[in-house]
A and B are shown apart, each in its own frame.
Chain A
Amino acid sequence: MTGQGDFELVGQGLACARGGRLVLDGVSFAARAGAPLVITGPNGVGKSTLLRVIAGFLDLAGGRLLFKAPSVQEEAPPAAKHIHYVGHLDGVKSALCVRDHLIFWARYMGAEPCSVDAALDAFGLTRLAALPGAVLSAGQKRRVALARLLLQERPLWLLDEPAVSLDKAARAILRRVITNHCANGGVVLVTSHESLEIPNAVDLTLSPPPQRPAT
């Protein structure tokens, strides 16, 4: 499937500072369609920071980030419209029911309302559609957060600890959704502590950067 026309995210010597300290330094990788990149490393080494830099929340202190898409000639960092970012937090409102939740995100992102039912089915949330966020378990909230990925087709997925609090069945769903997205030529970056057994995944292990004088 990995023809020349696929998406690819390349990071060259990425560096990022938070609170005046270099959290990332000299991080390089190439994430190609069909081969999810699983990012591992000890606590506080900057796994989440890397995803947030790619998503554009944090400024790059150094290095280059390029997102190659078939239709786009010149290489540029990924734009917000290319990205689905699911962070540690689920963003589930206790007062909204599951369906209203996804309806809002569909409307907000400009996706068709019909995608909501498909996303609910894919993550096995149809039975919970009418329940308010307050009564959901952590695993169910995580699935609601992940269901957002299917509302709109965006090539680059950035998933921060997606499998946290998911049970075996939900992990299987997550695996299937990721592999399906890759089969379609999408790029997936995942941070995770335990292995997710995603087929043909590529590993990237981050180590704490040597402390350059970032006084």
Chain B
Amino acid sequence: MFALANPHRFLSYSRVLTPWAGGLAAVLLLVGLVWGLAFAPPDYQMGDTVRIMFVHVPSAWMAMAAYTFMASASLASFIWRHSLADIAARAAAPLGLGFNFLALVTGALWGQPMWGTFWVWDARLTSFLVLFFFYIGYIALWEAIEDPHKAGRAAAILAIVGFINVPIVKFSVDWWNTLHQPASLIKMGAPAIHWTILTPLLIMVAAYTALFVALVLMRMRTEIFIRQIHRLQISTALDTEAPALG
């Protein structure tokens, strides 16, 4: 009734899946890198800075994808009290934070040649900054509560509230952006991307996604080990207690 059979099933599946995902990620990264850096033509307008797009867009995409993954895992864990979903959400959060950080920094590096400053309060970049704070808050909540089960449910509540908040933040930041900077900036994503740039871009996005899958599976396995260690520690504490009292 309380047995969590699937962690064992998950452990066996992930044992097979993780190396494959890791290998795929490595190959795709290599291909995407070489193609993007060496063969893709410079953009007529942005020149070679367009190559930054090959690392910026995938990390921005992964920051949002990881967030969606985390929020849906949290929803599953909150509704069906599915502790494997807890573990998935916790495993994804630091990765999402890493990708979000990359998205912000590469975005700034891309922005400098175009806008003349590293940071511009562009609607998209600002939304990513808010998401960045959300990730830190989410991870901090996990770390702050000792009991992993309680932490899981508290983080799930936060993730669900955060998920409701995303469209509101998106709308308010866009609103705020048009309010203070009527001058329209060069839209970051060029309208129609030529296939010579689009293909390496898609390869890099696939590479980042494969890497995310490999890492999240690995972190989930680690989290399962941590929970088992936690349980062993409690039961040893109790076993040494109970027999002593007879």
Contacts and interface: CB of A to CB of B under 8 A. Distances in A.
Chains A and B touch (C-beta atoms under 8 A apart): yes
Interface of A: 15, 17, 19-22, 42-45, 61-62, 208, 211-215
Bin chain B's interface residue count: 20 to 34
A44 B234 CA distance: 11
26 contacts: A15-B1, A19-B147, A19-B148, A19-B149, A19-B150, A20-B148, A20-B227, A20-B231, A21-B234, A42-B242, A42-B245, A43-B241, A43-B245, A44-B238, A44-B241, A45-B242, A61-B1, A61-B2, A208-B238, A212-B2, A212-B3, A214-B2, A214-B3, A215-B7, A215-B228, A215-B231
B235 interface: yes
A95 B188 CA distance: 59
Nearest to B228: A215
Contacts of A213: 3
B83 interface: yes
- Majority DSSP secondary structure for residues of B touching A: helix
A208 B240 CA distance: 12
A-B residue pairs, 8 tightest by C-beta = A42-B245, A214-B2, A19-B147, A213-B3, A208-B242, A20-B149, A19-B149, A215-B4
Contact of B2 (A19, A22, A43): A22
Nearest to A62: B1
Nearest to A59: B81
Contacts of A15: 1
Contacts of B8: 215
Contacts of A214: 2-4
A208 B4 CA distance: 21
B47 to A, nearest CB: 56
A52 to B, nearest CB: 14
A17 B235 contact: no
A135 to B, nearest CB: 34
B3 A21 contact: no
B48 to A, nearest CB: 53
Interface centre among A20, A62, A213 (most CB of B within 10 A): A20
Nearest to A215: B4
Given A20-B83, A214-B4, 17 more contacts: A17-B2, A19-B147, A19-B148, A19-B149, A19-B150, A19-B234, A21-B234, A21-B235, A42-B241, A42-B242, A43-B241, A43-B245, A44-B238, A62-B2, A214-B3, A215-B3, A215-B228
B224 to A, nearest CB: 9
B177 to A, nearest CB: 45
B2 A211 contact: no
Contacts of A62: 1-2
Contacts of B228: 215
Nearest to B234: A21
Contacts of B3: 212-215
A204 B107 CA distance: 66
Nearest to A45: B242
Contacts of B234: 19, 21
B58 to A, nearest CB: 36
Contacts of A215: 3-4, 7-8, 227-228, 231
Interface string B205-246: 000000000000000000000011001001100100110010
A193 to B, nearest CB: 11
A62 to B, nearest CB: 6
A25 B74 CA distance: 29
A15 B8 CA distance: 24
A6 B108 CA distance: 75
B235 A211 contact: yes
Nearest to A22: B2
Given A61-B2, A212-B2, A214-B3, A21 B231 contact: yes
Contacts of B227: 20, 215
A21 B245 CA distance: 21
A21 B147 CA distance: 11
Contacts of B238: 44, 208
A212 B245 CA distance: 22
